[in-house]
Structure 1
Amino acid sequence: MARVALTTEAADVLRRLRADHGELMFHQSGGCCDGSAPMCYPAGEFRTGGADIHLGDLSVDSFVVPVWMSAAQFEYWSHTHLTIDVVPGRGSGFSLESPMGVRFLVRSRLLKDEEL
């Protein structure tokens, strides 16, 4: 079962970011300054490890964008399906889309019994 998905609009932004930055990855932020937001980085720029969970991979055309979340945060989100979307506005200075005047956000829904 896929735990993450992507809207068409977010895929369009990822295409532009990949053209400029190469391979990409997401890490779902656990909060702090920008709340809980999916942060897009060049692949490998954000170091993941044993304290992170690989939620899945987003396929966009011929490339894949892995999505990660801290294990501690996953305990709260383990019963949800996440869809990465994009909206107008400025998000974090750490995420690659920030200079584009848009920001990624997560839309979530509870998993259905058959998905658990």
Structure 2
Amino acid sequence: MPDFIKDNHLFHNPVEFAMSKIGGTYKMPILWRLKDKSWRFTELRKSLPHASDRMLSKALKELAADGFVAKEVFPEVPPRAEYTITERGRKSIPVIETLRSYGLELMEETKIK
């Protein structure tokens, strides 16, 4: 497969490209949470206690920029925003589910040894 260049970054294979979009510490857990309902930033922050506000905000902005998540801002005082998974984001859920199951399996195998 030929190399692929996107945003001045060279990708050598499709897995590398996909992981650049949904990989990292918080992107998959965010998508996993959004698969069933919309969440507010504070709800996501509470459900991901190890994520700093900065890292969570960065991951959400990247997911929105790449079309995996939609952000809706409600004109209220104080302002309220909700994040919802998009169709592109929904396509990632089977991949995340497979990785999650495999990770749990590896964790169990590691416990036994």
Return the TM-score normalized by structure 1.
Answer: 0.25
Return the TM-score normalized by structure 2.
Answer: 0.26
Q: Normalized per residue, which structure has more strand?
A: 1
- The structure that has the greater radius of gyration is 2
